[in-house]
Amino acid sequence: MVQIKSRAIPSSLRRVNERTLVSLLMRLGHASRAQLAKTAGISQPTCGKIIDELITLGLAHEVEDSSAARDCAGRPGRMVQLDAQRPRFLAIQFDVNETSFALVPVGAKVEDCWNLKVPTTDSAQGWLKQARAAAGKLKCQDLCGVLVSVPGIVDERAGKILFSPNLHWSETADLPALIAQVWNAPVLLIQENRAAALGQLFADPSRPDFLLVDFGQGVGGAIVESGRLFQSPLPMNSELGHTPIPGNRRQCGCGAVGCLETKLALPGLLRCFAEANRGQPETWEALEAHVRKQGVRPWLTECLDATAGVIAGSLNVLGLRYVVITGSLAQLPSIVVDHLSAAVQGGALWGRFGEVTCVGAPRRRIAGLAAAGIDRLLLPLEGERQMAGD
């Protein structure tokens, strides 16, 4: 863990300032000390001390800004940016069908770029074997942490997957302990949609309040309010996929009947497509070509309208009006998200007298994992040290 000490101001306030400046650098890419101090609302001397310490620790460095005016000595202006070269974290995307690995610096890129992908096995020991093979290929040393995006209901503080409808073996596996057998570094489990929401916030900080809804092997979401992840009293939120919809008799992996994700998660959506279009192969390529050629047909309208009703109800409760759609729906032609957006607008109360917006976006889990790693491992507040296993 990085330790930055100073007697100038209380440690808790200094740590908040450190995190604020690092967050700004993640979002801006690079900035001058003066710009950082002004944007963060921190005095220039305090900002300068923190930046100097980040540079000393190798977390940031200076670069020349050829577009800036030269100083009184005729030297080019200097900008600060996070280090984008040395890997500080190992990011793992633990998913139903595939596990992905990436070495990540503190200056992570906005878009996901995984170094290695392998099929997810059906047992803890099988997955451990895959992790060891991945470690041999990645050859990473001196990591500050291993950051794992995981599906299901996750107790991030305890580092445990409590319930995973589509990956049940992970409920009884001690994933952090398995990872510790391979990599000697602190391990953080982060619910996959929360990681994606942090990544979306990193990519578009101008939208600090939104509901992210992801469509993949399941349907889930995460809430961001005032630029921070919403934390509910229980270790779960935005489990939209397990909302029952009328007339749906499909069995869900959670044990219930009629859940939304049996229609809108990728397997369910492909099944709806095949049932409505006899003779069509149940493949993603066929579905995408069909939508591109035929548009939003009645079978898809039914699925999207059911989803819109669930999202609109959530917005009415949360008081939000901006929705980010990621995953499989966002990869289909834009008319799909456009239809969903119009249906949500019609169902949300705010839509009666204001505007509700749904936009499609790529998943940005690596950037979200890096942001969580910086906050909880490199610059943790006192209450977060336990979460990092300190």
State pLDDT tens for residues 23-65.
Answer: 888 888 889 999 999 998 999 999 999 999 899 888 899 988 7
Pairwise CA distance, residues 230 & 322, whole Å: 15
**8 Å CB contact between 370 and 146:** no
Whole-number pLDDT of residue 358: 95
Per-residue confidence band for 20, with pLDDT thresholds at 50, 70 and 90: confident
Pairwise CA distance, residues 297 & 4, whole Å: 58
Strands 322-327, 210-215: pairing kind: parallel
- Answer with the residue of higher pLDDT: 227 or 313: 313
pLDDT for 137-186, tens place per residue? 998 888 999 999 999 999 999 999 999 988 999 999 999 999 999 999 99
Whole-number pLDDT of residue 118: 95
Distance of CA 387 to the CA centre of its chain: 18
Angstrom CA distances, 342 to 54, 224, 295, 311, stand at: 46, 22, 15, 12
Q: Of 232, 234, 265, nearest to 248 (Cα)?
A: 265
Pairwise CA distance, residues 273 & 278, whole Å: 9
**8 Å CB contact between 91 and 147:** yes
Paired strand residues for 90:
103, 146
Pairwise CA distance, residues 38 & 33, whole Å: 9
**Mean pLDDT confidence for 274-302:** 92
Whole-number pLDDT of residue 1: 41
pLDDT of 270 > 90? The answer is: yes
Give the range among 56-70, 167-181, 296-310, 314-328 with minimum mean pLDDT: 56-70
**8 Å CB contact between 296 and 339:** yes
Residue 258 neighbours by CB under 8 Å, 6+ apart? 244, 245, 246, 248, 249, 250, 252
Whole-number pLDDT of residue 385: 53
Pairwise CA distance, residues 377 & 187, whole Å: 9
**Mean pLDDT confidence for 127-132:** 94
pLDDT of 255 > 60? The answer is: yes
Domains of the chain: 11-82 (1.10.10.10), 89-196+365-384 (3.30.420.40), 204-360 (3.30.420.40)
3-state class (DSSP) for residue 267: helix
Whole-number pLDDT of residue 382: 64
Pairwise CA distance, residues 155 & 161, whole Å: 6
Strands 153-155, 160-163: pairing kind: antiparallel
Amino acid at 292: R
Whole-number pLDDT of residue 194: 96
Whole-number pLDDT of residue 286: 94
Tokens of 184: 């000697």
> What is the phi/psi pair of residue 355, to 5°?
-120, 135
Q: Of 70, 22, 131, nearest to 370 (Cα)?
A: 22
Whole-number pLDDT of residue 339: 97
pLDDT of 5 > 70? The answer is: no
Whole-number pLDDT of residue 383: 58
Pairwise CA distance, residues 192 & 216, whole Å: 11
- Answer with the residue of higher pLDDT: 304 or 57: 304
**Mean pLDDT confidence for 12-25:** 83
Per-residue confidence band for 9, with pLDDT thresholds at 50, 70 and 90: very low
pLDDT for 60-105, tens place per residue? 999 887 665 555 555 556 899 999 989 999 999 999 999 999 999 9
Whole-number pLDDT of residue 310: 96
Q: Of 280, 274, 282, 294, nearest to 335 (Cα)?
A: 294
The helix (run of H) or strand (run of E) holding residue 81 is strand 77-82
**Mean pLDDT confidence for 233-254:** 91
Whole-number pLDDT of residue 66: 63
pLDDT for 188-215, tens place per residue? 999 999 999 999 998 888 899 999 999 9
Average pLDDT score over the chain: 89
Angstrom CA distances, 87 to 138, 146, 316, stand at: 11, 11, 42
Paired strand residues for 211:
223, 323
**8 Å CB contact between 293 and 333:** no
At residue 35's C-alpha, the angle toward residues 29 and 37, to 5°, is: 110
